[in-house]
Amino acid sequence: MQVMIITYFGEQFFKIGQGEMVLAFNPVSKTAKSSVSAHFGSDIAFVTTNHSLFNGVEQLSHGERMPFIISGPGDYEVKDVFVKGVMSKAIIFGKDYINTIYSFTLDNIKIAFLGALADSEISKEVQEVIDNPDILFVPIGGKNVSKEVSLLDAKSAAKLALLFEPKLIIPMSYDDNSLKMFLKELGEDKAEVVDKLTLKLKDLDGKEGEVVILKAV
């Protein structure tokens, strides 16, 4: 059982490393109006929404390591990682975009990544795919964090988090206000704050809806 290390760069840009495997989620493009920036080689790149805040795959090649890009609904198998992507809705500048929610298992840890989800009214298919993940990545910032993208607000995000019954909840696209509101909606006074999240499967034993806040590096 290898150690999983989760790093957060800001917006919805995450890196998950486990052994030799590197996964990246919603990398911020150089062309985006954002201060978030990171460049590293990854094996798999997950893009939920075709917008510069989420599709900067040019940031994920280094040396001979170039990512396999997953950028829409469907079933994928890459390096023994089985991925299910299901369609949902994002709203950018008031227009509807496709947002793909991803669910996959890495070393027996089930992970769900909601991406730029805007609507808390989700399909039965999404519920079935995401049901009881070990780790849930959920946007909580509403319209306040980004002027371009309308995301789940803290109340809607908390409602979904309770519905999916994850062991760990990792908020993304947050500011101080949305974070406080999210914790309040979940009935939490505070949450663990870490620079990086390091864990093994056994570390999830006994956890139910525990919030872990990753600081952007």
CB proximity list for 20: less than 8 A, separation 6 or greater: none
Cβ–Cβ under 8 Å, residues 59 and 29: yes
Q: How far is CA 170 from CA 20, 119, 140, 161, 179, in A?
A: 23, 18, 10, 10, 11
Residue 16 has pLDDT above 80, yes or no: yes
Kindly state the helix (H) or strand (E) to which residue 8 belongs, with its residue range. strand 4-10
Tens of pLDDT, residues 56-95? 999 999 998 999 999 999 999 999 999 999 999 999 989 9
The superfamily in CATH containing domain 4-214 is: Ribonuclease Z/Hydroxyacylglutathione hydrolase-like (3.60.15.10)
| Alpha-helical regions (H) of 45-91 | none
Summarised one tens digit per residue, pLDDT across range 173-199 is 999 999 999 999 999 988 999 999 999
Query: pLDDT tens digits, residue range 109-121?
Result: 999 999 999 999 9
- pLDDT of 202 above 90: yes
**The pLDDT of residue 1 is above 90:** no
The DSSP string of 117-139 is: ---S---HHHHHHHSS-SEEEEE
Average pLDDT score over residue span 43-50: 98
Sorted by where each begins, the domain ranges of the chain are: 4-214
